[in-house]
Amino acid sequence: MANGAGRVDLDGKPIKPMTICMIGAGGFIGSHLCEKLMTETPHKVLALDVYNDKIKHLLEPDTAEWKDRIQFHRINIKHDSRLEGLVKMADLTINLAAICTPADYNTRPLDTIYSNFIDALPVVKYCSENNKRLIHFSTCEVYGKTIGSFLPKDHPLREDPSFYVLKEDVSPCIFGSIEKQRWSYACAKQLIERLVYAEGAENGLEFTIVRPFNWIGPRMDFIPGIDGPSEGVPRVLACFSNNLLRREPLKLVDGGESQRTFIYIKDAIEAILLMIENPERANGHIFNVGNPNNEVTVRQLAEMMTEVYAKVSGEGAIESPTVDVSSKEFYGEGYDDSDKRIPDMTIINRQLGWNPKTSLWDLLESTLTYQHRTYAEAVKKATSKPVAS
């Protein structure tokens, strides 16, 4: 299968093996994309990152079947003169590098803006100057708040999809005021999108922009104090996993009323592979990649995760499974939120014929089984250690 013999694109044309420069290859999404490229395609990957723990299994000497097709380069793109040379060696660059943890948007707004805008500039420039194709990872946060969120709470139009479904080509990007630093991330991501788009319009850059909507699965984020900083606050799924592993109540920020959609990482990676291998259909497009069928409030997510975790761990739920906290208490001053995030799927469906398959229950079961298997023992050890006074 991996030799790719006889593989054709959506238009029936043979797919030629290519070299892909993947920036941020050692992260959650990068690790799953590298796996897919190694096991199912003939493509070669130049894997760039500061860490490689999540792709170690692909770099081991005994994975001989693809050892010539993946090379790890330990690079921080902020200040590394090797970056342009690696972009030049490849046919396609995929940029996954970002600070993308909401807890950081408030507390580290400068890092957030620099990492998502300034550090991405050379990547765009090198692709444009060397006529290399770019797949740039953005975020569903660029949509900000829905139009419907500005209507009175009981307004009937709040139920009208045209007031909340997010469309790549028509929905506006609506952010909070400047003092709400939560939007530092979305704003930086929006500006780099505009820059990529402008490079396409003015200089002919071949680009695709991806807007992920809450991709979920094994190797996502970190568990504080185990494989991440003790004081770190990862995204909602890892936060809740951490609470479940430690048998603590799940913290619901402002009552957990925000609505989100979640998609299984393996479904999302299928979409990315279609973009990689169908440039004629993907170039010049912005794609939502999410699953509108898996919509829940954060409170409902907490309830489902509690139920699923009890099943996979064989341990009953704790007496008070959730606790309400204010956003100020949890994230600090300057937090704001988007109310609803439902992706419109028309464009990706039309261009790539792609649809997500995995239900929310199934993706939670798969992810929490992994979390339990990977972390339960380590957490037990960490929590049973006497704390030095």
| Catalytic residue set | 185
- Report residue 348 as tokens: 């990706």
Query: Which residues have CB under 8 Å from 146's CB, separation 6+?
Result: 163, 164, 166, 174, 338, 339, 340
128-164: b or e for each residue (b if 16 or more CB lie within 10 Å)?
Answer: beeebbbbbbbbbbbbbbbebbeeeeeeeebeeeebb
Using CA atoms, how far apart are residues 338 and 336, in angstroms rounded to an integer? 7
State the SS3 of the chain. Answer: CCCCCCCECCCCCECCCCEEEEECCCCHHHHHHHHHHHHHCCCEEEEEECCCHHHHHHHCCCCHHHCCCEEEEECCHHHCCCHHHHHHHCCEEEECCCCCCHHHHHHCHHHHHHHHCHHHHHHHHHHHHCCCEEEEECCHHHHECCHHHHCCCCCHHHHCHHHCEECCCCCCCECCCCCCCCHHHHHHHHHHHHHHHHHHHHHCCCEEEEEECCEECCCCCCCECCCECCCCCCCHHHHHHHHHHCCCCEEEEHHHCCEEECEEHHHHHHHHHHHHHCHHHHCCEEEEECCCCCEEEHHHHHHHHHHHHHHHHCCCCCCCCEEEECHHHHHCCCCCCCCCCEECCHHHHHHHCCCCCCCHHHHHHHHHHHHHHHHHHHHHHHHHCCCCC
* In the block, residue with structure tokens 């909070």: 176
